[in-house]
């Protein structure tokens, strides 16, 4: 059994923990130099604000509907993500972090009522961090994601699904008839990996709901659609066939993480891994023609080795200007790692996440006109051609054919300290990562 745990409207929820007055207000979080809405509260969704909608199109809602806009605060989100992830990790033998606000828990071998475990996890994360989560439980990744969708939707829109499925939804505990009713009430577009185009094509063939997909003739589906759809269908039937790497990539963040076979205590070994992760995410970033505005690195000891000292830090570094250059990303990751590494700890997991993704052209070469730090980024040569060559060689000769030197050995003191970002006029304080920005409490 698998669980998909994710934070509801992650960025907005993080803001609300520290500004409770925002609870109940329509809120959007802006990225790309305050140009695009990358997170919306339910109230903002109800106002019709779309995902990735340009800010200028909805700006008028500030006056007319009290819409609150905040600049993305990736340092805060990274730290809150780390708190949530390390709590969730203790609930199952295996955790796979899928994105900044989502992880899979693999309950293989765990006995007991998983719905109850899911509820306990949700309650603990809410109390300890203030973040509301949804938990979907099922036998495959695609189904767990769908169960999560049901848990979230049932909570947000009463009447959409039975209220018993709100917040924590376990498909395994539903009768065949109940499950069928859920599948009939869910449109195919809600399924992971079925995009808008495929949905439209399916609708042309009279396939509107998930139940329709399950009932459709497999052969009839295979020809006009991709192999991917067939695998999705098999997953929906409860047959696991998608690995973590084969899941649809989020267009908001790119992540690479790994649980080590043996606990790692050496900075050199961790640097090597983290540099490889950085190279991997950089390649994916370039494949989607984007650049990243910030990079997060996390490290974790094992919550199950209670005899070990625990240390599960994470840190987020702004990239100014935004970049897709493996060298820069790997250097930033190595530097961040070095800053948070503590000798004497047995680390079992590490990862690199790219956030604040932006289209390549727009951000490239954009000078830091609005930076609030004095440190100006050092202009560097455009590495696009070098990176393209690297990607081509790696595709042809296998991953790692061409690598950065740092992927094999730790760099000594790398470039300048983290510079501040471009325009972020409405950013909240970095409450949990900067001592001079912590909350002031009245006494």
The residues in 8-67 that bind other proteins, with binding defined as CB under 8 A, are 20-21
CA distances from 114 to 2, 56, 58, 154, 170 (A): 10, 45, 42, 19, 8
How would you classify the pairing of strands 314-323 and 290-301?
antiparallel
Q: State which residue, 107 or 192, has the beta carbon closest to other proteins.
A: 107
**What count of other Cβ atoms lies within 10 Å of the Cβ of residue 141?**
23
Q: State which residue, 189 or 429, has the beta carbon closest to other proteins.
A: 429
Residues 6+ apart with CB under 8 A from 418: 317, 318, 332
Q: State which residue, 164 or 438, has the beta carbon closest to other proteins.
A: 438
Asked if 12 and 1 touch (Cβ cutoff 8 Å), the reply is: no
Residue whose token pair is 């998983």: 114
Peptide bond connecting 321 to the previous residue in cis, omega within 30 degrees of 0: yes
DSSP-H helix ranges across 163-318:
176-184, 196-204, 210-215, 218-222, 227-236, 267-287
Q: State which residue, 76 or 320, has the beta carbon closest to other proteins.
A: 76
Give me the 287-306 binding string for other proteins, x by CB under 8 A, dash otherwise.
----------------xx-x
Does position 127 interact with other proteins (CB under 8 A)? The reply is: yes
Q: In angstroms, give the least distance from the CB of 23 to other proteins.
A: 10
Does position 435 interact with other proteins (CB under 8 A)? The reply is: yes
Does position 68 interact with other proteins (CB under 8 A)? The reply is: no
Q: Give the one residue of 164, 200, 220, 438 binding other proteins; rule: CB under 8 A.
A: 438
The H or E element spanning position 296 is: strand 290-301
Q: In angstroms, give the least distance from the CB of 62 to other proteins.
A: 18
Q: Give the one residue of 51, 52, 110, 392 binding other proteins; rule: CB under 8 A.
A: 110
Asked if 102 and 3 touch (Cβ cutoff 8 Å), the reply is: no
**What count of other Cβ atoms lies within 10 Å of the Cβ of residue 32?**
22
Does position 310 interact with other proteins (CB under 8 A)? The reply is: yes
Does position 91 interact with other proteins (CB under 8 A)? The reply is: yes
Does position 262 interact with other proteins (CB under 8 A)? The reply is: no
Q: In angstroms, give the least distance from the CB of 298 to other proteins.
A: 13
**Using CA atoms, how far apart are residues 333 and 317, in angstroms rounded to an integer?**
8
Residues 6+ apart with CB under 8 A from 159: none
Q: State which residue, 86 or 406, has the beta carbon closest to other proteins.
A: 86
Does position 123 interact with other proteins (CB under 8 A)? The reply is: yes
Q: Which two tokens stand for residue 403?
A: 């690598």
Q: In angstroms, give the least distance from the CB of 111 to other proteins.
A: 10
Q: Give the one residue of 53, 62, 124, 420 binding other proteins; rule: CB under 8 A.
A: 124
Does position 112 interact with other proteins (CB under 8 A)? The reply is: yes
Q: Which two tokens stand for residue 406?
A: 């740092």
Residues 6+ apart with CB under 8 A from 141: 2, 4, 104, 192, 235, 240, 242, 244, 247
Q: State which residue, 310 or 395, has the beta carbon closest to other proteins.
A: 310
Q: In angstroms, give the least distance from the CB of 110 to other proteins.
A: 8
Does position 3 interact with other proteins (CB under 8 A)? The reply is: no
Does position 130 interact with other proteins (CB under 8 A)? The reply is: yes
Taking alpha carbons only, the member of 192, 194, 354 closest to residue 287 is 354
The angle formed by the CA atoms of residues 164, 167 and 173, to the nearest 5 degrees, is 50
Residues 6+ apart with CB under 8 A from 305: 263, 346, 348
Give me the 336-375 binding string for other proteins, x by CB under 8 A, dash otherwise.
--------x-------------------------------
Q: Give the one residue of 48, 54, 113, 399 binding other proteins; rule: CB under 8 A.
A: 113
How would you classify the pairing of strands 347-359 and 290-301?
antiparallel
Number of residues that bind other proteins (CB under 8 A): 39
Q: Give the one residue of 13, 129, 140, 198 binding other proteins; rule: CB under 8 A.
A: 129
Stretch that binds other proteins, among 40-48, 114-122, 202-210, 405-413 (CB under 8 A): 114-122
Which positions touch other proteins (CB under 8 A)?
A: 20-21, 83-84, 86-87, 90-91, 110, 112-113, 116-117, 120-121, 123-124, 127-130, 303-304, 306-310, 312, 344, 431-432, 435, 438-443
């Amino acid at each position: 059994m698998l669980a998909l745990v994710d934070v509801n409207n992650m960025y907005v929820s993080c803001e609300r923990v520290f500004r409770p007055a925002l609870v109940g207000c329509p809120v959007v979080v802006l990225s790309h130099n305050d140009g695009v809405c990358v997170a919306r509260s339910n109230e903002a969704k109800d106002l019709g604000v779309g995902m990735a909608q340009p800010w200028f199109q909805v700006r008028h809602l500030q006056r007319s509907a009290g819409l609150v806009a905040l600049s993305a605060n990736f340092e805060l989100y990274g730290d809150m993500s780390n708190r949530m992830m390390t709590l969730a990790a203790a609930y199952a033998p295996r955790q796979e972090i899928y994105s900044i606000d989502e992880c899979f828990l693999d309950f293989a071998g765990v006995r007991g009522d998983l719905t109850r475990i899911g509820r306990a996890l949700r309650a603990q994360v809410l109390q300890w961090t203030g973040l509301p989560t949804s938990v979907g439980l099922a036998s495959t990744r695609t189904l767990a994601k769908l169960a999560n969708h049901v848990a979230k939707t049932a909570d947000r829109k009463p009447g959409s699904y039975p209220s018993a499925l709100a917040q924590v939804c376990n498909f395994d505990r539903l009768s065949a008839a109940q499950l069928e009713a859920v599948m009939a009430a869910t449109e195919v577009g809600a399924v992971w990996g079925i995009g808008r185009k495929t949905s439209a094509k399916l609708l042309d063939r009279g396939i509107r709901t998930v139940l329709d997909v399950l009932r459709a003739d497999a052969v009839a589906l295979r020809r006009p659609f991709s192999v991917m759809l067939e695998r999705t269908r098999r997953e929906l039937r409860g047959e696991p066939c998608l690995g973590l790497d084969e899941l649809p990539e989020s267009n908001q963040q790119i992540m690479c993480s790994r649980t080590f076979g043996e606990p790692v205590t050496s900075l050199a070994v961790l640097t090597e891994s983290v540099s490889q992760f950085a190279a991997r995410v950089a390649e994916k970033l370039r494949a989607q023609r984007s650049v990243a505005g910030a990079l997060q690195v996390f490290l974790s000891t094992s919550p199950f080795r209670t005899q070990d000292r625990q240390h599960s830090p994470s840190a987020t570094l702004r990239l100014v200007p935004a970049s897709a250059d493996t060298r820069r990303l790997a250097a930033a990751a190595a530097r961040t790692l070095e800053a948070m590494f503590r000798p004497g700890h047995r680390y079992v997991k590490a990862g690199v996440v790219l956030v604040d993704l932006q289209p390549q052209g727009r951000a490239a070469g954009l000078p830091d006109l609005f930076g609030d730090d004095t440190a100006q980024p050092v202009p560097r040569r455009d590495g696009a051609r070098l990176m393209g060559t690297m990607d081509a060689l790696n595709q042809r000769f296998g991953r790692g054919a061409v690598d950065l030197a740092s992927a094999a050995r730790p760099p000594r003191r790398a470039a300048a300290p983290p510079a501040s970002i471009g325009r972020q006029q409405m950013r909240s304080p970095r409450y949990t990562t900067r001592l001079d920005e912590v909350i002031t409490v009245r006494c």
